[in-house]
Structures are given as structure tokens and as C-alpha cells.
Copies of this chain bind each other. A is one copy, B any other.
Amino acid sequence: MSTQKQSTSRTPNRAYEEFQAFRADLNERILDRGTTTTKRFFTLDTKAYEAGAIDTKQKELMGLVASMVLRCDDCIAYHIDQCIVSGASDEELFETFDIALVVGGSIVIPHLRRAVAFVDACRAHAKSTDGGANDG
């Protein structure tokens, strides 16, 4: 089944970069060819997470919990990345996972497995990027 393909042998860093590359490439193709409605939807999607009465980190954690209970791996990956960029700690991520697990049930577990693998990929990527910068 799908995790069979997500080989544990692939380096987490590689996984992170492939995810971002596919996402960026296809978003560009969609915005190139999509209608005004498509484009406006993408704009609204960005706008919903901007800081307001609730700050961005908290909104990204809400986007993560929504993605987990709806069980969309790519959305989970995207929001994990954004949560980490916004400064979420592992404790905050795991408490968010718990809410998703309790609300959404055991059907969420396979996505939780991939989510935990992706948290590690994000942390590894951040480290390697820092390393690269420091190399200079």
C-alpha cells in the first residue's frame, strides 16, 4: 500500500526537497492555466493563515489539525513545514497530533506515521541548510 513506496532508505532531506519541488512546479502550471476562480481561491488560501486575532503559528497548527482529520498527506506535510517555519516546537506538534488522533480516530494513524517522518525530514533539511550556509 502507499507507505510501501515511501522507502525508509530514502534520506529525509531528499524527501523534503522532492515534495517542495513537485509542489512548486505544479502550482505554477495550475496558476498559468487556471481560471480567475482558481487564482482567487489560491489567494484566499494564503490569506486565511495571515496573523489576525489568532497568530500565524496557531493558524498553521489549526491547518495541520484540519489536514490530519481530513487525511491529506501533502496538506499535512505543507502545514508541518509552515508550523516549523513559524516556530512550533515538537511538543506543540505532538499535542496537535493528539487532537487529530482523538477527533479523527485510528484511521489517522498511517498519516501520523508519515507526519512524524516528515517532521524529521523538515528538521534534517533545516540543519543541512544551516550547515550549507555555515560552509560558506
Contacts and interface: CB of A to CB of B under 8 A. Distances in A.
Interface of A: 1-8, 15, 18-19, 21-23, 25-27, 29-30, 33-38, 40-42, 44-45, 47-49, 52-54, 58-59, 61-63, 65-67, 69-77, 89-92, 94-110, 112-114, 116-118, 120
A7 B48 CA distance: 30
B7 A113 contact: no
Given A33-B94, A38-B101, A72-B110, A25 B8 contact: yes
Contact of A70 (B7, B47, B48, B69): B69
In the assembly, how many copies of this chain are there?
6
Contacts of A77: 1
A118 B2 CA distance: 11
B116 A26 contact: yes
Closest 4 CB pairs of A and B: A105-B105, A1-B73, A74-B110, A26-B113
Given A26-B116, A62-B65, A54 B96 contact: yes
